Chains A and B, each alone.
Chain A
């Protein structure tokens, strides 16, 4: 009868981080993920390292199921799907890297420029420009660029980079505003340090961390966006083993051979999950 009364009142765990883990464990996990990423970069640069066949050679029977010789099976004309997926990583990865690079450079530039004098004319003009680009979905902006300049994963990547730059610009602007009130930034300014030097020596080192995390996340998003465009038929042209191309090519044969369309999607998901994990681990490192 008293048993329930003694029980402490139900409380919500106060401000406990969602996935609390020790800093050492987090760092180890981050290192493992970064090692995996490094391996992916190596494969992207030199796909023949781990490919077992020529990605374009017709050396198997069409629609061989996944097994010993052909790990992921073969496609409709007998090309080895495993080697195609490995080679496809190169295009997906490098074009996404280009997109993120464009987004990072452009976004940081716009963010810093508008964060220098918040509320100023430049800030207002840039904010309308940013919002106008945000109003156009990234995929549609990329399609407009493709209409003008022709198809291709790298053209799509630049357009996606421009679209994604808006997020970076907002993030960097916000961080700039926050950093203005930091004690050492104010101290440096009081000492008469030039604004440029304050920016480079004091502001950028404090804000690069969230930007890094945001970059990792947007790397994955860029891969998804470029995959969508290739799936729609506006990325690479069909003999290319780009993952979106593989998925759209395989969709026709889904009834006899599920692996042609589904396995490249699993590969794409795995890479995006890895990048998102890295982004989360970097984010957790801040708090």
Chain B
């Protein structure tokens, strides 16, 4: 949903590594510190959304009665409402609710829906695989496509080709993703009739949403790669040393620049995952597919606080897990990070 920004492209090593430690121990320390940090981030995200959702003017119990017909809503006395509140645990003090929610989170229990009493984990378990499949498929296409676009924007000698390839990604990220979905439905489902316009049945129904999302991902990745590749190409080793030893343009980019340029890409890859999941949810709604998009829209509409909270926490968890993996990946992949022990405060320069 958002463009790669100058700050995002900078990998921020968050841990000071032990310069004398063996590789295995260093990595273990990185993992340990990162895990602690990750737990703190998820706990804070949970707390923030709990405060946002549960200190609120609306009444989830009234919303619940409005959506289920178990109680006649003509003669509701205060007592019945109170007993209903007690039933779903909304009568306890905010502190108690918060604490039981947080301990439940640690056990992997997200409570149950205020609307239909089903456990939130079960609802998410039904919705999440569809969404993750969609996101995973689009990543599968968007990463190579992003690399391809970036190479076309840097390698060819023709300036026109390079400019065009650099223009495409920045133009695509200016398009509203839901509107591209509508446009694709109009072009490929209604006018050409190649693919179904929506639904979740069969592989054909996934083609258009995957296309919309992988183009979006490719455009975002290409933007980052283009700017970091351009910076690499201008550095001495690529601009002077490589030509001096007789290496060709394409060889230099492939053999030398691409590796160095891949690190900002890795950072952005982690940071974009949350936005990509949210984008997937929106695209699911456009194409009327089952997944967290539908769950999200339905639970917000029904003021189903626990499900919304569960969604926030699970997406935050996915984000944190991926970014922790990316950070650990740095330490594993980049020999300089293992040796030099970067300091947190100097990370962004």
Q: Which residue of the partner chain, among B157, B178, B297, B345, contacts A119 with CB atoms under 8 Å?
A: B345
A137, B277: Cβ atoms closer than 8 Å? yes
Closest Cβ neighbor of B46 among chain A residues? A132
A262, B345: Cβ atoms closer than 8 Å? no
Stretch in B75-83, B117-125, B128-136, B315-323 with 4+ CB within 8 Å of A: B315-323
State whether A144 and B49 are in contact (beta carbons under 8 Å apart), knowing that A128-B37, A137-B1, A227-B176 are contacts in the complex. Answer: yes
Cβ proximity bits B174-203 to A, threshold 8 Å, 1 near / 0 not: 111111001101100010000000000000
B345, A118: Cβ atoms closer than 8 Å? yes
CA of A167 to CA of B6 in the docked complex: distance in angstroms?
9
CA of A244 to CA of B345 in the docked complex: distance in angstroms?
42
Interface size class, chain B: 35 or more
- In this assembly, does B11 line the interface, its C-beta being within 8 Å of a C-beta of chain A? no
Q: Which residue of the partner chain, among B44, B176, B348, contacts A269 with CB atoms under 8 Å?
A: B176
A132, B41: Cβ atoms closer than 8 Å? yes
- In this assembly, does A193 line the interface, its C-beta being within 8 Å of a C-beta of chain B? no
A19, B305: Cβ atoms closer than 8 Å? no
Query: Known pairs A139-B1, A224-B177. 16 more at Cβ < 8 A?
Result: A14-B239, A18-B230, A132-B45, A136-B315, A137-B275, A140-B315, A141-B49, A147-B303, A150-B58, A171-B7, A174-B348, A228-B1, A232-B285, A234-B300, A262-B183, A283-B6
Interface residues of chain B, those whose CB is within 8 Å of chain A, are 1-3, 5-8, 10, 37, 40-42, 44-45, 48-49, 52-53, 55-58, 157, 163, 166, 170-171, 173-179, 182-183, 185-186, 190, 226, 230, 233-235, 238-240, 242-243, 246, 248-249, 252-253, 271, 274-275, 277-278, 281-282, 285-286, 296-297, 299-301, 303, 305, 308-309, 311-312, 315-316, 319-320, 343-346, 348-349
Count chain A residues whose beta carbon lies closer than 8 angstroms to a beta carbon of B: 74
* B41 → A minimal CB distance (Å): 5
CB < 8 Å A-B pair total: 220
Chain A residues whose CB sits within 8 angstroms of the CB of B230 once the complex forms: 18
- In this assembly, does A58 line the interface, its C-beta being within 8 Å of a C-beta of chain B? no
CA of A19 to CA of B344 in the docked complex: distance in angstroms?
34
* B187 → A minimal CB distance (Å): 10
B234, A144: Cβ atoms closer than 8 Å? no
Chain B residues whose CB sits within 8 angstroms of the CB of A150 once the complex forms: 58
- In this assembly, does A59 line the interface, its C-beta being within 8 Å of a C-beta of chain B? no
State whether A232 and B305 are in contact (beta carbons under 8 Å apart), knowing that A14-B239, A148-B52 are contacts in the complex. Answer: no
Chain B residues whose CB sits within 8 angstroms of the CB of A10 once the complex forms: 157, 243, 248-249
Write 25 A-B pairs (CB below 8 A) sorted by A numbering: A12-B233, A12-B239, A13-B239, A15-B234, A18-B166, A19-B163, A132-B42, A134-B271, A136-B45, A136-B319, A137-B277, A137-B278, A137-B315, A167-B2, A167-B5, A177-B345, A178-B349, A214-B5, A250-B182, A251-B182, A262-B183, A269-B175, A272-B175, A276-B3, A276-B170
Q: Which residue of the partner chain, among B1, B42, B53, B239, contacts A148 with CB atoms under 8 Å?
A: B53
